[in-house]
Each structure stands twice: as C-alpha cells, then as structure tokens.
Amino acid sequence: MVQYHKFAKSKSSGSGGHRREAANKRKAHWGGFFARAKAGDKDEVREFRVRGGKSKASVRHAQHANVATAEKVQRVKIVTVKESPDNRHFARENLITLGAIIETELGKAKVTSRPGQDGTVNAVLLQGKA
C-alpha cells in the first residue's frame, strides 16, 4: 500500500479542546509504491510521471551495473545481490536498493544510486579483480 507522508498532530490541545484539520489529504502528500528493482537476466526500465509533469525512471530488472574502479567506470554484469542494509530478505529476492552489496564480474560492489528513482544501477567496487 502507498504510504501517507504528512505530519500528524495531536488531536487534542493542551487545555482539553479538540483540534481540527486545516486541510484535507492531498495527492502530493502520498508516497509511491516500492519499486522492487530486481537483479535478473534482462535490463528493463519503466518511466512514470511525478509532480509538476516531470518524469522519473525506475529499474524493474537489471542485468548490468556501472561499476566505478580506481581507474575507470565499467558496465559489468550483475551476478547476484549479496546483502542489503534495508532488509535481509532483499538479498534473497535479489532486490537492489541504495547501499546493497552486489556481486559482479569484477567482484563485490556497493550500490550508490537509487535504482527505483534513477533508472540506473551505479556502484563502487569494494574488492575484486580490478
């Protein structure tokens, strides 16, 4: 379910009177669904509209990542997701989020982009063949 992101005040004032809302819920206060960027066997990106008529890209499936080493940035194949700081079950499901450790052809890399909002998977090499 989509989350509602609006500050919730107390319903009562300090003296015992009840407060009323100044405004109703607005569409701008609602968040989006979880993107579920998955490491898989193809590259698939979905565009969606955001506030102001702009658009964002969301990774649905990612086969490749842009991995930065000390010398250069390479587009390498993602093998699997090793661990995720957001949820330990994301590694089981191969879900890529910001801060996740992924296994690539070059070695382990840490994801530095937000695949659900950027449309790409960027990472920094931690260790490996470099």
* Residues 84-112: tens digit of each pLDDT: 999 999 999 999 999 999 999 999 999 99
CATH number of 35-128: 3.10.290.70
Q: Kindly list the distances between the CA atom of residue 120 and the CA atoms of 96, 100, 110, 111, in Å, as whole numbers in the listed order.
A: 11, 14, 14, 10
- Express as a percent the part of the chain with pLDDT over 70: 95
Sorting pLDDT into bands at 50, 70 and 90, what band is 20?
A: confident
Sorting pLDDT into bands at 50, 70 and 90, what band is 26?
A: confident
Indicate the SS3 state at residue 109.
Answer: strand
| pLDDT score recorded for residue 130 | 52
CA distance linking residue 114 with residue 127, whole number of Å: 21
| pLDDT score recorded for residue 28 | 77
Sorting pLDDT into bands at 50, 70 and 90, what band is 31?
A: confident
| pLDDT score of 58 more than 80 | yes
